[in-house]
Copies of this chain bind each other. A is one copy, B any other.
Amino acid sequence: MAGVRVVVVDDDPLVRAGLRMILGGAPDLDVVGEAVDGQDAMDVVARELPDVVLMDIRMPRMDGLAATRRLKERGSTARIIVLTTFDTDEMVLTALQLGAAGFLLKDTAPADLVVAVRRVALGEPMLSPSVTTQLIAAVTRPSDDGRRRKARTLLARLTEREREVADAVSAGMTNTEIARSLHLGVATVKTHVGSVFTKLEVTNRVQVARYVHDAADDR
């Protein structure tokens, strides 16, 4: 059976030659095409229908990220591995959001590159260690973590009713609206709002909204 069909996209002939050599050394990988920039890649990918595209970012005419977006928009099923020298935080996130299956630095060892192509062809992701580190840092955001924990503990002190009222308050409702929506008297709502203020140690409803939203997600 046929091997993994790979297209290499890079404006540097030396890089293309190098990649072709590395990947060609693996019997199960076939480099079926090359492109010199993103524009060119559109045609080559459309013609060759590869399983995997190795895509440089810095290229004339159309860069690798734009090319990735275009390919995805055109419904190409090719899995794309972004290959670059630098891994700025923004590039990594952009590439992954565009649907790149891999993000490798150009200092990746040849053997690892081959492994990456195989894995990506199987639908698995493949990131360079430093890229993984960045990704972890992105989800780890310790900043809101402390705030969130505090918000959660404070909100935990609220009774069921108070939490409902607090939610309504943070939805931007007035006391009258809350009363209608919870089938309560306005006086009751005011009481609950008051105890929410006390328990959260705040003095107005905007601050309640802050706590509720902090605890929610923020992810």
Contact = CB atoms under 8 A, between A and B. Distances in A.
Interface of A: 93, 96-97, 119, 124-127, 129-130, 132-133, 135-136, 138-140, 142, 144-145, 169-172, 174, 202, 204-207, 209-210, 213, 217-219
A140 B172 contact: no
B138 A206 contact: no
18 contacts: A93-B139, A96-B139, A96-B140, A97-B140, A97-B142, A124-B132, A125-B129, A135-B135, A135-B136, A135-B139, A144-B218, A171-B206, A171-B210, A172-B202, A172-B206, A206-B209, A209-B209, A213-B218
- How many copies of this chain? 2
A217 B93 CA distance: 13
A172 B127 CA distance: 42
A180 to B, nearest CB: 16
A198 to B, nearest CB: 16
A219 B140 CA distance: 12
Closest 10 CB pairs of A and B: A172-B207, A124-B129, A172-B206, A218-B218, A125-B132, A206-B209, A138-B139, A97-B140, A209-B209, A96-B136
Contact of A145 (B97, B124, B125, B144): B97
Nearest to A204: B172
